[in-house]
């Protein structure tokens, strides 16, 4: 069994200079492919259940799926709640077997974000699992604008919440389909100087691949969340599978054809986060 907490996989990453991918899941097909890719690359992986995933599949089912994959895997697998917005939601994830809780209080005033995140972190740590929080606000492509993380607020947040990982806003955007622009490295360096907690980049699909690699090996960013990039790869493979034989109607047969293309796309993502010790 290789079920792991977020701290289990991020602390070695921080020490040794690499990053771990937080891969956003939507169903069995992608989470299975993500674990297969991680095994092929010999790296840990964080399976993430975000709000859209949870709207489709209940948390107890997702927890069982994640834990089943971890039981069979040869690499560490983290069962992670992504963007939990309430105490009750985080509690349900814990009770469903998740090993990591991300509480998103980024829309709240600073003091309230700190207090609520600390409550979740204390609950997680009492149960022997991990907690990620967010300071600053990461916006959405075509939607809400970002608010960059203030280094002094990050210092307070890290010190007062006790989180195992801290998501920051430094030019990253959720749901971005291209890799134009990039991260604000001076802001990242200022946050690093003020804290010693592993840092997380949400919206990793929109970060240029070269910058992802450089920051994985040369900064405190230990976790990149990647969703859109791999959803696009899955969608392309699914369209090809459907169009290859219009007479096919069995979804299991069709979905089988998405596995290898998605594994290949995921391996390319994972390879870019490796450090020298993993190559």
Pair of tokens at residue 32: 């299975």
Cβ atoms 66, 97 nearer than 8 A: yes
178 by Cβ neighbours in 10 Å (0-12 / 13-18 / 19+) ranks as exposed
Alpha-carbon distance of 59 to 43, in angstroms, equals: 25
Per-residue tokens: 105: 């209080």
Given the residues 8, 82, 104, 164, the one annotated as active site:
82
Tell me, yes or no, if 82 is annotated catalytic.
yes
Sort strands 221-226 and 3-4 into parallel, antiparallel or unpaired: unpaired
Question: By 3-state DSSP, what share of the chain in percent is helix, strand and coil, each rounded to 5?
Answer: 50, 15, 30
Which residues lie below 8 Å from residue 68, measured CB to CB, with a gap of 6+?
none
* Residue 91 token pair: 């509690």
> In the beta sheet, which residues pair with residue 223?
20, 200
Task: Catalogue the active-site residues.
Answer: 82
């Amino acid at each position: 069994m290789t079920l792991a907490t977020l701290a289990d996989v991020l602390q070695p990453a921080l020490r040794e200079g690499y990053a771990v991918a937080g891969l956003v899941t939507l169903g069995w097909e992608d989470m299975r492919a993500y674990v297969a890719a991680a095994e092929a690359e010999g790296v840990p992986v964080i399976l993430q259940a975000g709000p859209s995933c949870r709207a489709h599949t209940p948390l107890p089912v997702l927890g069982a799926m994640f834990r089943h994959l971890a039981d069979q895997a040869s690499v560490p697998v983290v069962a992670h709640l992504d963007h939990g917005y309430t105490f009750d939601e985080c509690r349900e994830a814990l009770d469903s077997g998740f090993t990591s809780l991300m509480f998103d209080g980024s829309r709240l005033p600073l003091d309230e974000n700190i207090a609520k995140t600390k409550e979740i972190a204390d609950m997680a740590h009492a149960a022997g699992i991990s907690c990620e929080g967010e300071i600053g606000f990461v916006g959405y492509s075509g939607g809400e604008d970002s608010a960059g993380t203030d280094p002094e607020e990050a210092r307070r947040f890290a010190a007062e919440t006790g989180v195992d990982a801290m998501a920051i806003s430094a030019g990253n955007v959720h749901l971005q389909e291209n890799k134009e622009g990039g991260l604000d490295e001076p802001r990242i360096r200022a946050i690093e100087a003020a804290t010693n907690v592993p840092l997380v980049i949400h919206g990793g699909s929109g970060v240029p691949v070269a910058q992802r690699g450089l920051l994985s090996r040369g900064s405190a960013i230990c976790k990149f969340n990647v969703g859109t990039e791999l959803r696009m790869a899955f969608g392309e493979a699914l369209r090809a599978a459907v169009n290859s034989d219009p007479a096919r109607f069995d979804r299991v047969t069709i979905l089988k054809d998405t596995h290898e293309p998605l594994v290949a796309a995921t391996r390319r993502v994972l390879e870019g986060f490796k450090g020298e010790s993993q190559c």
